[in-house]
Amino acid sequence: MTEETKPFEPVIIGFTCNWCSYRAADLAGTARMKYAPNVRLIRLMCSGRLDPTFVFRAFAGGADAVLVSGCHPGDCHYSTQNYKALRRFLLMKRVLNQMGIESGRLKLLWASAAEGQIFANEITKFVEEVRLLGPLNWNTTGVNIPAEVAKEEVTA
């Protein structure tokens, strides 16, 4: 394919928690479920550890979207910290909106350790949504994130 006809491959940074959502991703992997390879996952101990700075740095550094993922409400390993993540997510969305970053570029996903399939499906769905939004191309010098996405399936 030529440069022009190549579909836009969004770069998405995903923050997962150690106890639920990262294990969901792990389950998706061990079960060989297929999902879009555009998300680079970063594991935190808890979604409550998510400092909004991480999200802003991701956008400033070239990410097209950010995924925040944690345990379902009521299931947090640290009892209530995912509610904190929820509140930060809702406030961040408002601020990003004022900055001209569409709310569709920030997604919150609850996934338990058993929900590998849900995690995989939601990521594929999110990638398609961001693809429609197009590249963000944030005009700042920040951390450089390689734009090229791995296209080949890697054998486990």
Q: Residue 13 and residue 64: Cα distance in Å, rounded?
A: 8
Of 45 and 95, which has the nearer Cβ to another protein?
Answer: 95
Q: How far is the CB of 131 from another protein (least distance, A)?
A: 19
Residue numbers at the binding site for another protein (CB under 8 A): 51-53, 55-57, 59-60, 73, 80, 83-84, 86-88, 90-92, 94-95, 98-101, 138-140, 142
CB of 80 to another protein, least distance (A): 7
Sheet of strand 39-44, all strands in order from the earlier edge strand to the far edge = 39-44, 12-17, 65-70, 106-110
Q: Which of 49, 47, 48, 29 is nearest to 39 (CA)?
A: 29
Rounded to the nearest whole angstrom, what is the least distance from the CB of residue 139 to another protein in the complex?
A: 4
Q: Which is nearer to another protein, 143 or 147 (CB)?
A: 143
Q: Are 46 and 18 in contact (CB under 8 A)?
A: yes
Task: Using alpha carbons only, give the angle 104, 119, 17 rounded to the nearest 5 degrees.
Answer: 90
Task: Give least dist CB 95 to another protein, A.
Answer: 5
